[in-house]
Amino acid sequence: MRGLKVALLLIGVLTLGSCSSALKNKTWKEGILVDEFIYDKAPYPSCHAVTIVEATNGDLVSSWFGGTHERNPDVCIYVSRKPKGSDKWTEGIMVADGVMKDGPRLPTWNPVLYQIPGGDLMLFYKIGPKPSEWWGMLRRSSDGGKTWSEAEKMPDGFLGPIKNKPVLLSNGTLLLPSSIEGDGWRLRMESTPDFGKTWVMGDTLPRGKKEINAIQPSILFHKDGSIQAIGRTRNRALFSTFSKDNGKTWSDVELLDMPNNNSGTDAVTLKNGKHLLVYNHVLPPGDLAKGPRTPLNVSISDDGIHWNAALVLEDSKISQYSYPSVIQSSDGMVHIVYTWRREKLKYVKIDPSKLVTLPIKKGIWPGEKGKVVTAVKAEEE
């Protein structure tokens, strides 16, 4: 028994030494190939909610909203492309606004791109005075985002994907991760079996015993055939819920040991089966539900529950590195876009094979002991 204890102690010492050495040599930038702004100047002072997709021809297409400030009626939807093989993004072109035939002009919100395999590029967005009163809109492009169709209003009650990309399920259904705001935050799923000819409204997801307020889900795929939704809450931690029937029913929403500052996140399941998450790994001060949107981090997981720290994309004390969108392109590279101080939009290209990760324990980023407390404990307080 004594020999076993000694052996375990040695293993612990060696593991601690290995982690310390890895942390000492960690730059938190391993695997980053490109780090640039999508544009340097724009005809508006504020921008937010950027989304990215790979078009059928291999071009990258990005969209966001820009204007005087969020909620201002002059806020419009813009689109830019990075042609395959090019090192520059095209000038952002306005493709949608909130001009009403009857009534006052309204702001636009949260564009989300989706490329139909072998078909049109879809651009979902919202129009309305505020999130509790907005409605879903859709435009389509048959030439990879160069030109767009007339706007289509989604059926009454449908909002489309709120922030993060739709996913194509094994049964051919396009699942739109959605949510509603107003009288509490609630998750729900919308879907279409025919890429927008018909629409199906799902039930709101069970909020669990703690009545978790969650919105803006991302969808992950697991090897056992289940899917997971993960994302933003008002409860100081990321949420998680699973479905075993292609998104028809879901488990009660639970909190992960991963902090959330009441800001948007995004995630994607990579081709190797691992999951990649982009988010602000920071808790709000005190017992507040909302806090600064910095730093901006990337983590990796095998099961969607336990996460390993990979990258720090931004760590300035100046806030507003937020609302990321992430995809993996056909060549295996990972592409991330996000809001930079509400002034510009950042684009980062990553080789996932070069990521170096360290385990996150009890919600604490490696090397930041005491800075981030356990998310569950924060929720209890």
pLDDT tens-digit readout, 91-147 = 999 999 999 999 999 999 999 999 999 999 999 999 999 999 999 999 999 999 999
CA-only gyration radius of the chain, Å: 21
pLDDT tops 90 at residue 297: yes
**Maximum C-alpha span of the chain:** 82
| Nearest alpha-carbon partner for 309 in 262, 271, 257 | 257
Q: How far apart are alpha carbons 78 and 381 in whole angstroms?
A: 42
At residue 11, the 3 state secondary structure works out as helix
Q: Please name the helix (run of DSSP H) or strand (run of DSSP E) that holds residue 242, with its range, or none.
A: strand 237-243
pLDDT tops 70 at residue 3: no
- pTM of structure: 0.92
Kindly state whether residue 23 falls inside one of the protein's structural domains. Answer: no
Q: How far apart are alpha carbons 76 and 43 in whole angstroms?
A: 11
pLDDT tops 50 at residue 215: yes
Reported confidence tier of residue 20, pLDDT bands at 50, 70, 90: low
Contact 246, 169 (CB under 8 A): yes
For the stretch 225-263, pLDDT in tens is: 999 999 999 999 999 999 999 999 999 999 999 999 999
The per-residue pLDDT for 21 is 67
Contact 178, 161 (CB under 8 A): yes
Q: How far apart are alpha carbons 128 and 98 in whole angstroms?
A: 8
Contact 312, 350 (CB under 8 A): no
At residue 18, the 3 state secondary structure works out as helix
> If you average pLDDT over residues 5-22, what whole number do you get?
47
- What is the chain's mean pLDDT, rounded? 92
Kindly state whether residue 14 falls inside one of the protein's structural domains. Answer: no
As a whole number of Å, the end-to-end CA separation of the chain is 41
| Nearest alpha-carbon partner for 215 in 285, 156, 286, 134 | 134
Question: For the ranges 8-22, 177-191, 198-212, which has the lowest average pLDDT?
Answer: 8-22
Q: How far apart are alpha carbons 79 and 39 in whole angstroms?
A: 11
Domain range enclosing 110: 29-359
Q: How many CB atoms lie within 10 A of CB 161?
A: 31
Q: How far apart are alpha carbons 284 and 257 in whole angstroms?
A: 15
The per-residue pLDDT for 182 is 87
Q: Could you tell me what percentage of the chain is helix, strand and coil, using 3-state DSSP and rounding each to the nearest 5?
A: 10, 40, 50
Reported confidence tier of residue 333, pLDDT bands at 50, 70, 90: very high
Kindly state whether residue 7 falls inside one of the protein's structural domains. Answer: no
Kindly state whether residue 180 falls inside one of the protein's structural domains. Answer: yes
Q: Residue 110: left if φ>0, alpha if ψ -120 to 50, beta else—which one? A: left
The per-residue pLDDT for 109 is 98
Q: How far apart are alpha carbons 218 and 378 in whole angstroms?
A: 23
Contact 243, 177 (CB under 8 A): no
Q: Indicate the residue type of 97.
A: D
| Nearest alpha-carbon partner for 150 in 160, 138, 136, 134 | 138
Kindly state whether residue 272 falls inside one of the protein's structural domains. Answer: yes
The per-residue pLDDT for 6 is 39
pLDDT tops 80 at residue 349: yes
Q: Please name the helix (run of DSSP H) or strand (run of DSSP E) that holds residue 231, with its range, or none.
A: strand 227-233
Kindly state whether residue 376 falls inside one of the protein's structural domains. Answer: no
Q: How far is CA 349 from CA 16, 170, 221, in A?
A: 32, 28, 22
Kindly state whether residue 5 falls inside one of the protein's structural domains. Answer: no
Give the total number of structural domains in the chain.
1
The per-residue pLDDT for 369 is 58
- What are the structure tokens assigned to 350, written together? 């990553």
Kindly state whether residue 40 falls inside one of the protein's structural domains. Answer: yes
The β-bridge partners of 121 are: 115, 141
The per-residue pLDDT for 12 is 42
Q: How far apart are alpha carbons 166 and 115 in whole angstroms?
A: 9
Residue with tokens 């901006």: 296
Q: Residue 154: left if φ>0, alpha if ψ -120 to 50, beta else—which one? A: beta
CATH number of the domain at 289, please. 2.120.10.10
DSSP class of residue 120 equals: P
